[in-house]
Chains A and B, each alone.
Chain A
Amino acid sequence: MFDGYTASELVSIFVMQGFAGLILFSVFLLMALGLAIIFGQMGVINMAHGEFMILGAYMTYLTSHVFKGAFPGIYGAYFLVAIVVAALAGAALGWLLEWALIRHLYHRPLDTLLATWGVSMILQQIYRSIFGAREVGVELPDWLMGAFHLSDTIELPVNGVFVFALTAAISTIILFMMFRSRWGLQVRAVVQNRPMAGAAGINGTRVDRMTFALGCGVASIAGAAFTMIGSTGPTAGQLYIVDTFLVVVFGGAQSLFGTIASAFSISQSQSSLEFFMSGSMAKVFTLLTVVGILLLRPQGLFVLKMRK
């Protein structure tokens, strides 16, 4: 399939597709981190995770409109505000959902699956009623337009670089919180042994709610980033949720580093293959590889080794 390309062309193709893959990686990673934290902590598979992402995207869209109308002079700053708005909206809705629905369904994984799927459909309809069925897009501010020219054949879009930097920053913050903060310590204790964490003095219920809210907030940040690379529609979240599950399972549901490695390998192979095959063939190829590896390593890429 590499016939007809010169060596330098191939290098350019791989660099640029690799970079396109990095943007996909960013969205996957933010989505998967939220999903993995929630699943690891509570055993809840959140089928509405994609809709939390879209919530973030719509919040970004709204924020950009407010800025365009009220403060056109500083339109360039809208995205930074939008990230905060998206994160807060996602976290608030997540907090509410946990309180109203999820906490009544613990220990019933199939029921949470159904219930969150229902929530996802309700949210889709709400988006459709409020924002309309047509996809909406945001106008990128000037400082995010254009591209860095690395050579005659290689150029990297500024918005992509920005999204990637944002993802790196947020992932670092999440990892730091998980492994250095009091909250993270409580999450990890509850994940390993919920009854014993309670008997050691940890309030598992409160940790659950915070974790669910945080996971949803991160998904909404993914949605804010998503507006730079795609347009937002009521069902756009559905396109990402399956891939995100794939990332979480492939990485090993207990390991955040596994999630990172898995998001990277899946997005990169997807993106590089897409150039040489059709999009769906690339997906088939990626899926087959993942299935093959999971057959050999059912526990996922990364597993902690220790005495039990």
Chain B
Amino acid sequence: MLEVSNLSVAYGESEVLHGIDLSAAEGEIVAVMGRNGMGKSTLMKSLIGMIPHRAGSIRLGDADLSQLPSHRRVEGGLAFVPQGRMIFPSLTVEENITTGLIAHGDRTIPDDIYGLFPVLHDMRKRRGGNLSGGQQQQLAIARALVSKPRVLLLDEPTEGIQPSIIKDMAKVLKEIRRMMNLTIVVSEQVLSFAMDVADRFLVIENGRFVDEVAAADADEGRIAAYLSV
């Protein structure tokens, strides 16, 4: 499904990602674990095309997306929920979701989106900037989902969210995977959340994957060791 090979990203002269290889199967949830500054967000942003990469390819199905601008990658089946959510604060909730419809020229927001996130339906006329952090996170996910992605990229979705809501979010992500059979790549530092959702863990350190564990034989202590400072 998603095949990333030898992806390198640099900020000016300093290379931050050194030839990342990543593959994710259809319907799989992959968690990229790592401490701050290890390259999680850089990886996510370069996958969606918000920052350029120096080398490597990003294939989704048969198509190579690595040379395309962001909006073409969205057309090609990627969708992105960024760190800090980045909803459009002065657009209403409804308008925020509609921005995700434009890639495929769709007109209406599908009902199942409001089914997943009923609170967004109640608040659809409110400005996105006036929602709470957890509601904004749901909004950012809804905006990504309406572009009918095959692969959903989430960058630290638990950041700044209350613990009780983190539990719900894990449930929602698994529900989304079941409904739409999509692949999810999520970067995370919160181990409990990742243990809840992921089928497989990749550990990133200094721009390289250093370990890979399937959920079935994941040992919480082993991954936690990578995350401790």
Contacts and interface: CB of A to CB of B under 8 A. Distances in A.
Contacts of B71: 198, 201-204
B89 A196 contact: no
Contacts of B48: 199
B129 A201 contact: no
B100 interface: yes
A185 B95 contact: yes
Contacts, number: 81
Contact of A196 (B75, B82, B102, B130): B82
A200 B147 contact: yes
Which one of A186, A201, A203 has the greatest number of beta carbons of chain B within 10 Å?
A201
Given A182-B102, A202-B99, A306-B129, A196 B74 contact: no
A201 B48 CA distance: 10
A198 B50 CA distance: 8
Which one of B50, B71, B86, B131 has the greatest number of beta carbons of chain A within 10 Å?
B71
Interface in B85-120: 86, 88-91, 95, 98-100, 102-104
Given A306-B129, A307-B130, A201 B89 contact: no
Interface stretch (A44-52, A56-64, A187-195): A187-195
Nearest to B147: A201
Contacts of A192: 88-91
A193 B88 contact: yes
A169 interface: no
Nearest to B87: A196
B91 A200 contact: no
Nearest to A304: B90
Given A199-B82, A201-B100, A307-B129, A188 B70 contact: no
Interface of B: 48-50, 69-71, 74-75, 79-80, 82, 86, 88-91, 95, 98-100, 102-104, 127, 129-131, 143-144, 147
Interface of A: 182, 185-186, 188-189, 192-193, 195-205, 304, 306-308
